[in-house]
């Protein structure tokens, strides 16, 4: 799949897949960002990506982020839409510091990963009933 991408700072490398079997590519930070304890910050990912039609780009935290940096992504997953690729639409990674001390994310550090996924737009067909008895709510299967 060919993807149109531009870097905000061309001195930093393009995102990379770390292994031949990796499904996610690593985003690196454009600037050093200090996240105060308990606070939420937006860390610039240095790229603007034109997501192809029929796809979404999911931005997820690297699995080591909470353990190594005491940072989590409070929204869990960032969704980059197909129309988010204007000249100022840099991908930002939202992080929250869950520690009691300031956390520094250094310029050039790998902080998140991106994964392209196929998507379809729903065409709603409203019905009065779905013809099935109610199963229950959360935890209804035990």
Q: Collapse the DSSP code of 68 into the 3-class scheme (helix H, G, I; strand E, B; otherwise coil) and give the result.
A: helix
pLDDT for residue 140:
66
68 backbone dihedrals φ, ψ, rounded to 5°: -85, -30
pTM of the model: 0.87
pLDDT for residue 135:
72
pLDDT for residue 139:
72
Q: Identify the structural domains of the chain with CATH numbers, from first to last.
A: 4-118 (2.70.40.10)
Q: 39-96: per-residue pLDDT in tens?
A: 999 999 999 999 999 999 999 999 999 999 999 999 889 999 999 999 999 999 999 9
The answer to whether 85 and 48 have CB atoms below 8 angstroms apart is yes
User: pLDDT over 90 for what percent of the chain?
Assistant: 89
61, β-bridge pairs? 112
Residue with tokens 């204007």: 86
């Amino acid at each position: 799949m060919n993807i149109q991408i531009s870097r905000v700072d061309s001195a930093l490398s393009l995102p990379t897949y770390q292994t031949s079997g990796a499904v996610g590519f690593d985003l690196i930070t454009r600037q050093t960002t200090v996240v105060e304890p308990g606070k939420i910050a937006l860390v610039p990912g240095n790229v603007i990506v034109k997501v192809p039609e029929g796809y979404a780009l999911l931005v997820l935290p690297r699995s080591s982020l909470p353990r190594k940096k005491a940072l989590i992504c409070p929204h869990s997953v960032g969704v980059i839409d197909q129309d988010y690729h204007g000249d100022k639409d840099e991908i930002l990674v939202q992080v929250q510091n869950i520690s009691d001390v300031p956390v520094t994310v250094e310029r050039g550090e790998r902080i998140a990963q991106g994964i392209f996924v196929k998507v379809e737009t729903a065409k709603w067909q409203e019905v009065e009933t779905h013809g099935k008895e109610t199963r229950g709510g959360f935890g209804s299967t035990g």
